[in-house]
A and B are shown apart, each in its own frame.
Chain A
Amino acid sequence: MPPALLALRSRFPNWQPQPAAELVSTGIAQLDALTGGLPRGSIAEICGPPSSGRTSLALAIAAAATGRREICAWVDTSDTFDPATAAAAGVELDQLLWIRCGGRPPAALAAADQVLHAGGFGLTVLDLGDLAPRLVRRIPLTSWFRFHRAVERTPAVLVVLAPEPCAGSCSSLSLDLKKPRAIWTGGPGPGRLLRGLVVEAHPRKPARGESARFEARAAG
């Protein structure tokens, strides 16, 4: 240990290092193996272009959280949440508070703030996925600091779906989802079926050299 740090430690004998955050499963084994899971008391970002699998990943996280009997909230900025898909993904809808903000980002930010400060929600998803990147960039950093203060030292996780990273230093985990690759059954013509998407998640923060890949299957 450096001498300066030793001197500091001697000045504060009661100081204890902050315990490592508890990690909870994302519901995707490949992603858990790569990142260890979602750290509680923190903000996690899932970023990527449209159809990159952001919502499928968020639903997997919500299904895992409701499976742990936690109460979750989905702040739906653009009113695009589909209950049928969520139920098929294993989300317990009775344990999910859905807040439809009708395409108003300020209302969504205020709603997320209310939910985080209410306490007791194991997972809050702030869905900014359909906003234009320029609108996401306009969200003041103070909002993210406020969210960070609300979740830190609590068992809550705030997951942000966005087209690009926006929470800056406030997020503890940032996943970058690559351009999608669709899987079709059969050749072009009648009877062809969309089987699903190959989702590739690359951890931007904490940085990892590799990425996790999983398949999100279409219903039916």
Chain B
Amino acid sequence: MFACLHLHDLADIHQARLLDLAGVFSPRVEAAAPDAVVLDLEGLERLWGSPGELAEAIERRARDSGFPVRVAVAGNPEAAVSAARGFPGVTVIPEGEEAARLAVLPIGILSPPPELAETLARWGIRSFGELAALPEAGLSERLGPEGVVLRKRARGAGDRLLAPAAAAPVFRERLDLEHPVALLESFSFLLARLLGDVCASLESRGLAAVELRLGLELEDRSQQERSLRLPFPMRSPPALLKLLQLDLETHPPGGAVTAVTLSAEPAAPRLLQQELFVPPAPAPEKLEWTLARLARLAGEGQVGAAEVLDTHRPGAFRMKRLESIDAARRGSLPKPDGPQRLALRVFRPPLEAKVEASVGRPSRILARGLGGEVTASAGPWRSSGEWWTADPWTRDEWDVALGDGALYRIWRDRRKGGWFVEGRYD
């Protein structure tokens, strides 16, 4: 037997509450429609009594909770839903009597498609009983499969299986420690245990983690949270442990830890097929450790791929994460042959310089670590831009060769004054 809880005044919060209410009575609950949930009553007799008593109990509980519902019990989910929508209060339909009891209900309860509803109205079919009385073959011929399904529902027949609503799985583990742990090395053992549990849980559902959140409760009752966004879904405990260790070494807890919570954001695992003719690349997990270690060595934001910005401002670039190596490599093609470009080694920040000029051209330069007579020069090349922003730039550039043969690019700031060495050609 199946019971249906139907709510007239529909709202999202109510459907969630309906599901909660139904979950109190049966472990198998289906969200059949936005306004109805269906319970499987199989095996609940010893706990709640007869289906009628159970339906009364549900109705009473809902009324006490402040949202009165209609409850109907029938031999299949479809009949239960129709009865709950059609009859007020509590309705119990014994198995086999569905067609007779539902016959008086108006056809609108079945929510037929508008064209079908219009056709049925033209035929003068207004109730379940009238629709159920029509011959199946003729209905199929005139209305197609939809008409047959509608007739079946009007007769209170149905053999579909319940699709129970499953709560979204939570991948979260917590560990309360008897003694505060201050050393990262000892803490790693605890992390390994939590990660093992979380990864096993992910694996059992065919999922992987795309983000790890580590919550730490410290001895001074403060809380600290770290979030580790992974570039692709992973579920290998050793790889994740190394990444967490590296993150904790960079951002150590502010004190001894008394409780740890580790949660994972699930995602479908990455499926990757190696290509035959693509040169080998760093293994994704290993690349992540390497990037994390390099970031610890060089500093945050100092490791990644460079992206030249779409602006005329000299030297404009930004660092971005070395994202997906596979995607990057698929897009690239061999470059056509061309002349080799002269490289510039940029001084960051530009070196302030003292420049002596003769007949309008630099004749001598002095800056930190370099200086001398200018033996050859080209310029000035004037450029400016972003005058509409708070940080405009305008400058005169020169390429100069010094006595030792080294070539430099220097520039004069036309707005603030002053000379700078931008870099050395090499």
A interface residues, Cβ below 8 angstroms from B: 27-28, 49-60, 63, 66-71, 78-90, 92-102, 107, 110-111, 114-115, 118-122, 129-130, 155, 179-182, 184, 188, 192-194, 196-197, 199, 214-219
Contact = CB atoms under 8 A, between A and B. Distances in A.
A85 B423 CA distance: 12
Contact of A80 (B331, B335, B347, B377): B347
9 contacts: A56-B426, A67-B332, A82-B345, A93-B306, A120-B287, A129-B345, A184-B376, A216-B342, A217-B340
Given A80-B347, A120-B283, A182 B401 contact: yes
Contacts of A56: 340-343, 426
Given A59-B343, A82-B315, A99 B294 contact: yes
Contact of B343 (A55, A71, A111, A179): A55
Nearest to B287: A118
Given A120-B281, A217-B339, A80 B346 contact: yes
B322 A218 contact: no
B286 interface: yes
A205 to B, nearest CB: 22
Given A69-B329, A80-B423, A182-B407, A110 B297 contact: yes
B50 interface: no
A217 to B, nearest CB: 5
Instruction: Tell me what chain A mostly uses at the interface: helix, strand, loop, or mixed.
Output: mixed
B294 A51 contact: no
Given A50-B424, A155-B280, A179-B405, 10 more contacts: A69-B279, A79-B348, A80-B347, A90-B335, A93-B305, A93-B307, A99-B298, A99-B302, A118-B286, A129-B426
Interface in B275-323: 278-283, 286-287, 289-291, 293-294, 297-299, 302-308, 315, 317, 319, 322-323
A83 B378 contact: no
A160 to B, nearest CB: 15
Contacts of A93: 305-308
B343 A194 contact: no
A185 to B, nearest CB: 8
A121 B282 contact: yes
B98 interface: no
Nearest to A84: B308
Interface in B345-395: 345-348, 361, 376-379
Contact of B297 (A114, A122, A130): A114
Contact of B279 (A78, A84, A155, A196): A155
B282 A82 contact: no
Contacts of B293: 114
Given A54-B426, A68-B334, A196 B283 contact: no
Contacts of B304: 97-98
A148 B131 CA distance: 85
Contacts of B290: 114-115, 118
Contacts of A130: 345
Given A90-B335, A219-B341, A97 B322 contact: yes
A85 B294 contact: no
Interface string B95-130: 000000000000000000000000000000000000
A89 B341 contact: yes
B406 A98 contact: no
B425 interface: yes
